[in-house]
Amino acid sequence: MEFGFHMPVDLIFGTGAVSNNAKKLVLGSKALIVTGRNSARISGALDDVVSVLTSENIDYYVFDGVMNNPTLENVSKGASFGRENGADFIIAIGGGSPMDAAKAIAALMTNDMNPIDLISTVPKNQSLPIAAIPTTSGTGSEVTPYSILTVHSMNTKKNFYSPSSFPRVAFADPAYTYSLPYEITLDTAFDAFSHLLESYLSKRSNYFNDVIAIEGMKAFAECMDALNTGEITEKTRESLMYSSCLGGVAITHTGTTIIHAMGYSLTYFKGYSHGRANAMLIGSYLDFNRTAQPEKVEKVLSILGFESIDEVDKYFMVGMDKRPVLDDGEIDKFTGLAMGQGSVMQNPRTVKADDINKLYRELFGGKG
Ligand code: NAP
Ligand code: ZN
């Protein structure tokens, strides 16, 4: 048995995580709080953070301009704001969008570089330290080094990461997700599941990581009925956050595969949320990879409590009538963009452009 495992984030999980661990939030003398328009406020996380910073006598500035699926321009603006105010550490509050934006801002604040270069180079200087506080249970970004940024010049989303973009500390408090609307709860839960699934089947998976992925998928499975009916209890919120954190740890070691690579265009061009885009691909992904990982695919079916991949596909289409229809030009364009994502290399079955094209065509060619 051979494997490596590195998880440098100090993860604090549970209700009251911020208030009960005040000292751990203080990573410098002046904080830049990075968040979206509403999530930090309505989740209650901002109040808890401000109350800790006030009692610890730490100055702070709030950048609440992070958009969903943040762009290079958006993070650049956040970095300028942080620099103007002399912040020396970052507190990210929100879903994947603010947490990912914070990682890019943390790198841009210590490196005089063009934001587009984040995609192709590892910044020379260490990023500012980050405390991450998730308010969705989906991306697991609080425990990953990844920052997914929308790059308009490339017509897609691209992944930036560096060894210093792991958050220093993460406060995962399920209570911050109580305010999440049903739709976003569903979409983000599906994103977390796709991380666990793709990591489990990845060419880079290993025994140790499998244990994490399986545990995360089991936690997700406990929530499936609630996600279906919309009757989401506090216990469900806790399990969803647990599965999301496990998903983040899992993809830190393996990356994602073709679900994420193919899903980005459904978000960028068609406006589907990240989790929804992935969910529409899960059934076909299992089918396509069955020959490469037959035992693992069976294990996933048994964890989910389904006998067939058709049942899995139907489940992940909850709340959707049908898939969008793409024309031939779109299918060819999306195929090229998916093949340009490094994550296709980790797919359990080796993929060529023809395979991706066929998968898009079968799912979105208007015949289904
Ligand atoms: P998100 O884009 O961060 O947030 C979606 C929406 O939910 C926003 O409108 C947000 O409001 C709202 N929201 C967040 N928390 C809320 C709460 N507690 N109550 C009410 N509303 C709330 O969604 P996400 O799915 O968590 O993140 C998606 C992004 O993460 C994508 O860009 C994706 O590519 C990326 N991602 C990153 C990783 C990684 O490893 N880093 C992995 C997968 C995906 P506000 O606008 O006010 O914030
Ligand atoms: Zn994802």
- Is pLDDT above 90 for 2? no
Q: Give per-residue pLDDT as tens, 202-253.
A: 999 999 999 999 999 999 999 999 999 999 999 999 999 999 999 999 999 9
Q: Give per-residue pLDDT as tens, 241-285.
A: 999 999 999 999 999 999 999 999 999 999 999 999 999 999 999
Distance between Cα 320 and ligand 1 center (Å): 20
HEC string of the chain?
Answer: CCCCCCCCCEEEECCCCCHHHHHHHCCCCEEEEEECCCHHHHCCHHHHHHHHHHHCCCEEEEECCCCCCCEHHHHHHHHHHHHHCCCCEEEEEECHHHHHHHHHHHHHCCCCCCHHHHCCCCCCCCCCCEEEEECCCCCCHHHCCCEEEEEHHHCEEEEECCHHHCCCEEEECHHHHCCCCHHHHHHHHHHHHHHHHHHHHCCCCCHHHHHHHHHHHHHHHCCHHHHHHCCCCHHHHHHHHHHHHHHHHHHHHHCCCHHHHHHHHHHHCCCCCHHHHHHCCHHHHHHHHCCCCHHHHHHHHHHHCCCCHHHHHHHCCCCCCCCCCCCHHHHHHHHHHHHCCHHHHHCCCCCCHHHHHHHHHHHHCCCC
Q: Taking all residues of the chain, what is their mean pLDDT, rounded to a whole number?
A: 96
Ligand in nearest proximity to the CA of 94 = 1
Nearest atom in ligand 1 to 99's CA: 41
- Is pLDDT above 60 for 368? no
Protein residues with C-beta less than 5 angstroms from the ion ligand 2: 191
Query: What does the block give as tokens for 20?
Result: 């009960």
Nearest atom in ligand 1 to 39's CA: 47
Distance between Cα 313 and ligand 2 center (Å): 18
Q: Give per-residue pLDDT as tens, 127-177.
A: 999 999 999 999 999 999 999 999 999 989 999 999 999 999 999 999 999
Percent of the chain with pLDDT strictly greater than 70: 99
pLDDT at 367: 65
CA distance 314 to 161: 34
Ligand in nearest proximity to the CA of 146 = 1
User: Ligand 1 pocket by C-beta < 6 Å: which residues?
Assistant: 36-39, 42-43, 68-69, 94-98, 100, 135-136, 138-141, 144, 146-148, 157, 176-177, 179-180, 184, 188, 191, 274-275
Distance between Cα 217 and ligand 2 center (Å): 15
- Is pLDDT above 90 for 114? yes
Percent of the chain with pLDDT strictly greater than 90: 96
Kindly report the protein residue whose alpha carbon is nearest to atom 8 of ligand 1: 68
pLDDT at 23: 97
CA distance 224 to 244: 14
Kindly report the protein residue whose alpha carbon is nearest to atom 38 of ligand 1: 139
Ligand in nearest proximity to the CA of 160 = 1
Higher pLDDT, 178 or 321: 178
pLDDT at 1: 82
- Give residues with Cβ within 8 angstroms of 126, minimum separation 6: 110, 164
- State the average pLDDT over residues 295-300: 98
Q: Give per-residue pLDDT as tens, 67-93.
A: 999 999 999 999 999 999 999 999 999
- R_g over Cα of the chain: 20
Using pLDDT thresholds of 50, 70 and 90, give the confidence band for residue 117. Answer: very high
Kindly report the protein residue whose alpha carbon is nearest to atom 31 of ligand 1: 69
Ligand in nearest proximity to the CA of 71 = 1
Kindly report the protein residue whose alpha carbon is nearest to atom 10 of ligand 1: 39
- State the average pLDDT over residues 196-202: 98
- State the average pLDDT over residues 82-106: 98
